[in-house]
Structures are given as C-alpha cells and as structure tokens.
Amino acid sequence: MRIISGKFKNKKLYFPKNLKTRPLKDSVKENIFNILNHSNNINVEIKNSNVIDLYAGTGSFGLECLSRGTSRAFFVENDLYALKNLKKNIEDLNITHEAIIYSQDVFKFLDNLVLQKKFDLAFLDPPYTNKTYIKIFKILKKKDIMNKNHIFILHREKNSAEDINQYLNIIQNKIYGRSEILFGRFF
C-alpha cells in the first residue's frame, strides 16, 4: 500500500497485518481519484479542500488527499491496530498539523462534532459486516456539515442490499471485485 500521487508519491504506508482492517487497494484508490479529477458530474477540488475519512483504518484515502493538496484531513477510527499504523503514517509523512485523528467510534465522533469549517469530501469505508452507514448519512445531513459542492464516497461490499438512494443522489458507481464504490451527494 502506498501514496499514488502528489508530494508523497510512492511513499509506502504502514498497515496492520490482521483481518479486521481491509486496506484500500492502490488500483481502486487510483480509480477513485481519476473519477474525482475527471468526472463532469463531480465539481469538488481536492486541492485546498476539507476532507473527512470515516472508518479511516490506516488513513490511506485521507493521506492520499493530503498528498494531493487537501488543506486538512480528519481521520475517525477506533481500532487500536489501525490507529497505531495511522499515527505512524502521519508522523512518517510529517503532517501532524494537517491530519487530525479522532480515536473513537464514528457515531460518538458525530455526536460531539463541532465544526469550524464544513467538509467538501467525505470517505466512508466501514467494515463489510457493518451496515450502520445509512444512519451516518442521516446524521451528516441533519448536522449540515457538508459544503454546497460536496461529494461522498462509500466503499462497501457489492452485494449490499441497503438502499441509500433515499439519502444520496448517486452520481456514479463502480465495481471492483468484491467492492462497490459509490459517489454521491445530498439532494
């Protein structure tokens, strides 16, 4: 696992060698950023944006954003092994001022969230067995924490039955093996 592009290009990332954390494959991450940069339906600039990486794991997505010029990335993770590696990655890249870690459950984080600036980009990568992300979309919409021009990216199992169309306007979706990547925004 590595940084694909930007100022940290080719920098290897630490990740736990356990089955609890599912790393975002480099090829999938590269495709996500190609869609973000080249889709006519997505008008979010990565450079100078404010990013939230929920279920961050080792932070691969948020760190890629920081490498590409994001102003700040907020990482929310509660698994101790993933957090250990996330902290190592942030320290190794020397970006402790741009990367803010919340070592807690996503719902607890959202309950206590006080914003100074809204988010432009949100990445949700819950464990495949976790189907509570629908509740997260409800909370995010209620709290009004996204800028007008925003994008959500959801990484979930392709056979997921949860219908998120009532919460998000799905702009694009892609299937990569067992994974589905959805790009959407609030109505």
> Which tens digits make up the pLDDT trace of 66-77?
999 999 999 999
pLDDT interval class at 52 (50, 70, 90): very high
Please state, rounded to an integer, the average pLDDT across all residues of the chain.
92
Q: Where are the domains of the chain?
A: 26-158
| Strands 179-185, 146-157: pairing kind | antiparallel
> Which tens digits make up the pLDDT trace of 83-105?
999 999 999 999 999 999 999 99
- Cα–Cα distance for residue pair 148/81, rounded to 1 Å: 35
Q: Does domain 26-158 have CATH number 1.10.10.1100?
A: no
